[in-house]
Amino acid sequence: MTETPERWIDPERVESAIAALAEHGARGETGVARLVYSPEWVAAQDQVAAWMSEGGLRVERDTVGNVWGYLDGRQGDLPIIATGSHIDSQNPGGRFDGALGVVAGITALAVLRERFGDPERTLAAVSLVEEEASRFPAANFWGSRAIIGRIGTEEPKRLRGYDGVTMVEAMRDAGLDPGLVQDAKRDDIDTFIELHIEQGPFLEHENLPVGIVERITGYRQYLVTLEGAANHAGTTPMDMRRDPMAGAAEIISGVIDTAFRMGRPCVTTVGRAIVTPNERAVIPQQVAFTVDARSPLPEQRETLLARHEALMFEVAERRDLKLSLRVDSDRQPVMCDPALVETIAQAATAAGVPAMTMTSGAVHDAMQMAEIARIAMVFVRSAGGISHSPDEFTTTEDAAAGTEVLTRALHTLAYPS
Ligand code: HGY
Ligand code: MN
Ligand code: MN
């Protein structure tokens, strides 16, 4: 019999922090709606900064609102090792998506400081401002894109939220200067490890608490707008209509069917539709809908996107509809660093936490950070594979097991052996 290694992480510490964060933007019993730069978002970032200070970390806020907590290393001039995730949520989502990675990062650094003192390499825990695009449909990865220098100078003025507020106004409401977004860019990050809930069924299926991500899916998100001619539902013969709903129906069922026929791992989702006017007895003038298409295999992603676009153009042409296609987000699949994956696998073994390597079907801030740093991710099991819902749940034991693995991996990377 091998002995269970001593655990560095107290599960209660992780659980109580998740519960405290969930109060900022609480919706019902278990839901959270914490949209970027809202008052509840500001309160959550303040809470995070306070925890970082209590954990003995040096706190900084950058110009876009990311909160950084540093455990300074003896070799302070070396590029840093960072961990963290996003503090915003779906509208509403659950209490773990993003938040668990923020809590795990702060907990890991505080525990490393308590147990081992100063590291050799500087460690940072970061609470990133926005990943979900739940307030601004095209903001996605606002925090990590600022860090890698991929926010255009005009973007804050151009982006408008579902609530009609521009990014400039939202940033000002949160006490930030939108003219300084570019100053959040940095070039001193060597390594970024993001802990996140799996948001899918595979770990539960394998009865494992932890996954180590090797590859993150690629995706493209479109807003498809079809324009036809509004008219009376009773008097306009079927063969005399320019009906954008008929075109949308054909495209929506077609893209979903294409992904289904191409098979795993590609997926396509139509999650939002806006019908104008939205009336029972009127052929609509316009139907707009989102298409979110993903595959972790680069060639499969290209084939999927090409088929989707061909269908959209063919249907619009045949039905005499005006098609406009806006791409809100577009990203190739990203590979995690093999050496980091191995370091995390060894940390899991040392902790006595069973784990497997896997692919992420969700997109993550880590894939933006991959442009400037080597990256990897630690996943923890999602109950029922459910996420982006108030029903999202991860047990305290699993959350602590993932945090344990993260902490030990950071220890390997930042402390002399
Ligand atoms: O859409 C995504 O994959 C991410 O969870 N926002
Ligand atoms: Mn997330
Ligand atoms: Mn999410």
pLDDT tens digits for range 120-158 = 999 999 999 999 999 999 999 999 999 999 999 999 999
Answer whether 198 contacts ligand 1 (Cβ < 6 A). Answer: no
Distance 358 CA to ligand 1 centre (A): 17
What's the pLDDT score for residue 416?
A: 84
- Sequence-distant (≥ 6) Cβ neighbours of residue 207 within 8 angstroms: none
Q: Is the link from the previous residue into 209 a cis peptide, with omega within 30 of 0?
A: no
- Determine which residue's CA is closest to atom 5 belonging to ligand 1: 362
pLDDT at 9 over 80: yes
Nearest CA to ligand 1 atom 3: 362
Query: Of ligand 1's atoms, which has the minimum distance to the CA of residue 362?
Result: 3
Mean per-residue pLDDT, 14-19: 98
To test ligand 1's pocket by mutation, which of 213, 388, 389 has the most ligand atoms within 8 angstroms of CB? Answer: 388
Query: Mind listing the domains of the chain with CATH numbers?
Result: 11-217+333-414 (3.40.630.10), 218-331 (3.30.70.360)
- Kindly report the average pLDDT of the chain as a whole number: 97
Residue 197 near ligand 1, beta carbon < 6 Å: no
- Give the tens place of pLDDT for each residue, 17-28: 999 999 999 999
Structure confidence by residue, pLDDT tens digits, 337-385: 999 999 999 999 999 999 999 999 999 999 999 999 999 999 999 999 9
**In the prediction, which pLDDT does 2 show?**
59
Q: How far is the CA of 284 from the centre of ligand 3 (A)?
A: 32
Q: Is 22 in the pocket of ligand 1 (CB under 6 A)?
A: no
Give the HSE-up count for residue 361: Cα atoms under 13 Å, Cβ half-sphere. 16
Instruction: Confirm if 361 and 300 have CB atoms less than 8 A apart.
Output: no
Calculate what percentage of the chain has a pLDDT beyond 90.
98
Query: In the predicted model, what is the mean pLDDT of residues 176-189?
Result: 98
| Cβ–ligand 1 contact at 362 (below 6 Å) | yes
Give the atom of ligand 1 at the shortest distance from the alpha carbon of 140: 6
Mean pLDDT for 285-300 is 98
